[in-house]
Amino acid sequence: MDILIIYGSLEGQTKKISEHMADILQTNGHQTTTLSSEHLPTDFQVEDYDAAIVGGSIHINKYPKPMIKFVTRHRDWLNATPSAFFTVCMGINSKRPESQQQALQFGQNFLSQTGWKPMLNETFAGAVKYTQYGFITRYIMKRISKHEGGSTDTTRDHEYTDWDRVAHFAEKFAAMVTAQEKSKSAEAEMD
């Protein structure tokens, strides 16, 4: 099956997670196309694909606009196709239960607002890339990290993504897509 992966990523962590998922899906026998929701090719058509994963990171409680636009525009296709959604943020990694709870709400609220019903919905911890931020963002992120129990060492970047959880998500989706493919070809044989 040809699986489309669309990501909305501001500092690259959601892109990195998407690319890791693509590697796993390929290992499981699928073809993949990984694209930024911000830069879709002019001849892009969702109908060219058999399944889709969409992921987006959170910045100041919001997903990237191009990713929201993609899901809104293709909601009916996504609902008619094997699909999965994931969120990347830092709240999920907080020592404070209320921040973790809020992090889980991002995905749930987005899905109920858009009406998309993916087969999987997961939230992964992202990264704090102090070396890539400007002075003000670095200062704010350091304060937030201190409050939430993350590292305040601004001399380097900190990756919190649990790659085993990412792999599990991709493998589960690969198995779901394979099962769907088998049941479709069994149906076709019966016709």
Ligand X SMILES: Cc1cc2nc3c(=O)[nH]c(=O)nc-3n(C[C@H](O)[C@H](O)[C@H](O)COP(=O)(O)O)c2cc1C
| Contacting positions for ligand X (CB under 6 A) | 9-14, 57-61, 88-91, 103, 126-128, 137, 141
Taking the alpha carbons at both ends of the chain, their separation in whole angstroms is: 21
**What are the residues whose beta carbons fall under 8 Å from the beta carbon of 171, sequence distance 6 or more?**
24, 28
Looking at the Cβ atoms of 50 and 157, the one nearer to ligand X is 157
Task: Tell the smallest beta-carbon distance from residue 164 to ligand X (Å).
Answer: 17
**What are the residues whose beta carbons fall under 8 Å from the beta carbon of 16, sequence distance 6 or more?**
161
Looking at the Cβ atoms of 91 and 118, the one nearer to ligand X is 91
Task: Tell the smallest beta-carbon distance from residue 191 to ligand X (Å).
Answer: 44
Task: Tell the smallest beta-carbon distance from residue 85 to ligand X (Å).
Answer: 14
Distance CA 79, CA 3 (A): 15
Looking at the Cβ atoms of 38 and 181, the one nearer to ligand X is 38
Q: E strands of the chain, at which residues? A: 2-8, 31-36, 51-57, 83-89, 120-125, 127-128, 158-159
- With CB atoms as reference, the residue minimizing the distance to ligand X is 126
Looking at the Cβ atoms of 103 and 177, the one nearer to ligand X is 103
Task: Tell the smallest beta-carbon distance from residue 180 to ligand X (Å).
Answer: 28
**How does 51-83 read in b/e, with b if 16+ C-beta sit within 10 Å?**
bbbbbbbbeeeebbebbbebbeebeeebeebbb
Distance CA 105, CA 109 (A): 6
Task: Tell the smallest beta-carbon distance from residue 100 to ligand X (Å).
Answer: 9
Looking at the Cβ atoms of 21 and 127, the one nearer to ligand X is 127
How is residue 1 written in tokens?
Answer: 């099956």
> Identity (one letter) of the amino acid at 19?
E
